[in-house]
């Protein structure tokens, strides 16, 4: 499609020094099978045709771009636009890769999807895909997260998924990953593991990026149609980095478009208070691939904390670590306070309640708008905020 996508990753899944696949031996043949299937399918007209049909008739794509007139006026300076992934079915960009993973499983003859989930967003999207394809679905979730995110547990069950409570250790995401992988090893002959972002062993960072490219491809075309130009600045929040890679993909070969990834700075820059992996992390490995990681003093993945649980990850997609190194993307951050303010502002001024994750990108746009009069900023509104309204109003009220 473009020079950039022919350049990375290489055959082994490396984006420069980052990526690759460090797998437990029992999983090696299964990942070889996934790589071979994806190589074949990504060039198959039948697969691409069915994926296009699903995007249009089930997900409701293309999602629009909205010009945020009131927010732009209030911020003062640049014109702010948003790609409306909150209008994608299930309310976030995650369904873009979950439907494609489900379709891959179908073409591979698998009958089951397995994954872990933290806040439950990925679990809900994957359970949706499983229902659509008539597959079984098994989602592993820490008991602490299950109590915190009860509505998502209900959703997954309504969608027909089995939710496996994980009671080991801290009973959150890391333990859920271990539990899900253990279960997958035993069932890999008939199940596919559905990774929830541009992370994990090769080929997942590449596949999930490819599945999210639709966001960037649509955006470039829509923005040109709306304004006759390309945006000056394109920005997205970065947890694992899938919604950002999706949007960036549309503009990565356009040298005049500045790309910004916005990490969560939480409550402070102290280790444990944030999840700004590219800002403060070091070269290391996590969950089977090389990337930047936040490590504690024992060299273990550090605890992370942000208002937006979908951004809570002490690692990051390897392609982002690579793009930081090449300088093509600039990584910056927004903290809890300014993201919460952006959550209220977008709700009140535009009638759009954003996910707390997406509010980090909104905060960036509001802050940067002042510095770029006459320019345009396009952000990815990765998801809607319905999931966050109880937490926000019970904890912080309704804003002033």
Ligand X SMILES: *Cc1c(COP(=O)(O)O)cnc(C)c1O
Query: Which residues would be at the binding site for ligand X (CB under 6 A)?
Result: 92, 94, 121, 197, 237-243, 310-311, 355, 357-358, 382-383
Between CA 326 and CA 332, with CA 331 as vertex, the angle to 5 degrees is 155
Q: How far is the CB of 210 from ligand X (least distance, A)?
A: 14
Q: How far is the CB of 39 from ligand X (least distance, A)?
A: 23
Question: Which residue sits closest to ligand X, CB atoms considered?
Answer: 383
Closer to ligand X by Cβ: residue 149 or 345: 149
Pick the catalytic residue from 219, 339, 376, 382.
Answer: 382
Closer to ligand X by Cβ: residue 68 or 237: 237
Closer to ligand X by Cβ: residue 138 or 319: 319
Pick the catalytic residue from 72, 83, 85, 94.
Answer: 94
Closer to ligand X by Cβ: residue 376 or 382: 382
Closer to ligand X by Cβ: residue 110 or 213: 213
d(CA 283, CA 280): 10
Closer to ligand X by Cβ: residue 106 or 320: 320
Q: Do residues 144 and 172 make contact, with C-beta atoms less than 8 angstroms apart? A: yes
Closer to ligand X by Cβ: residue 345 or 388: 388
Q: How far is the CB of 317 from ligand X (least distance, A)?
A: 7
Residues 6 or more apart whose Cβ sits within 8 Å of residue 39: none
Instruction: Reply yes or no on whether 116 is catalytic.
Output: yes
Q: How far is the CB of 189 from ligand X (least distance, A)?
A: 28
Q: How far is the CB of 238 from ligand X (least distance, A)?
A: 5
Pick the catalytic residue from 85, 101, 116, 319.
Answer: 116
Q: How far is the CB of 242 from ligand X (least distance, A)?
A: 3
d(CA 20, CA 11): 9
- The residues that are catalytic are 94, 116, 382
């Amino acid at each position: 499609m473009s020079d950039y996508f022919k350049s990375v990753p290489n055959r082994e899944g490396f984006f420069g020094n980052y990526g690759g696949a460090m797998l437990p031996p029992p999983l090696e043949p299964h990942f070889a099978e996934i790589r071979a299937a994806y190589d074949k399918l990504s060039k198959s007209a039948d697969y691409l045709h069915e994926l296009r049909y699903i995007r249009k008739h089930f997900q409701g794509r293309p999602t629009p771009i909205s010009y945020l007139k009131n927010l732009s006026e209030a911020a003062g300076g640049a014109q702010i636009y948003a790609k409306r992934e909150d209008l994608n079915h299930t309310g976030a960009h995650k369904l873009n890769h979950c439907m494609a993973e489900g379709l891959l499983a179908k073409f591979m003859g698998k009958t089951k999807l397995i994954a872990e989930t933290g806040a439950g967003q990925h679990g809900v999207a994957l359970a949706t895909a499983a229902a659509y394809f008539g597959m079984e679905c098994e989602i592993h979730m820490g008991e602490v997260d299950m109590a915190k995110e009860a509505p998502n547990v209900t959703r997954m069950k309504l969608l027909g998924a089995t939710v496996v409570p994980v009671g080991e250790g801290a009973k959150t995401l890391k333990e859920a990953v271990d539990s899900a992988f253990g279960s997958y090893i035993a069932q890999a002959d008939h199940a596919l593991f559905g990774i929830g972002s541009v992370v994990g062993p090769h080929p997942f960072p590449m596949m999930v990026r490819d599945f999210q490219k639709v966001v960037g491809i649509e955006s470039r075309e829509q923005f040109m149609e709306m304004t006759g130009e390309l945006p000056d600045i394109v920005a997205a929040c970065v947890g694992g980095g899938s919604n950002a890679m999706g949007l960036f993909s549309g503009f990565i070969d356009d040298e005049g478009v500045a790309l910004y990834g916005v990490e969560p700075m939480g409550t402070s820059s102290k280790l444990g208070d944030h999840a700004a992996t590219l800002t403060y992390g070091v070269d290391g490995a996590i969950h089977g691939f090389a990337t930047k990681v936040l490590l504690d003093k024992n060299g273990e993945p550090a605890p992370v904390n942000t208002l937006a649980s979908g951004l809570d990850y002490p690692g990051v997609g390897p392609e982002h670590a690579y793009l930081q190194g090449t300088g093509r993307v600039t990584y910056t951050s927004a903290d809890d306070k300014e993201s919460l303010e952006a959550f209220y502002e977008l709700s009140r001024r535009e009638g759009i309640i954003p996910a707390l994750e997406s509010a980090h990108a909104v905060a960036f746009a509001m802050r940067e708008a002042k510095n770029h009069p006459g320019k345009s900023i396009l952000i990815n509104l990765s998801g809607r905020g319905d999931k966050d309204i109880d937490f926000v109003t019970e904890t912080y009220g309704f804003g002033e």
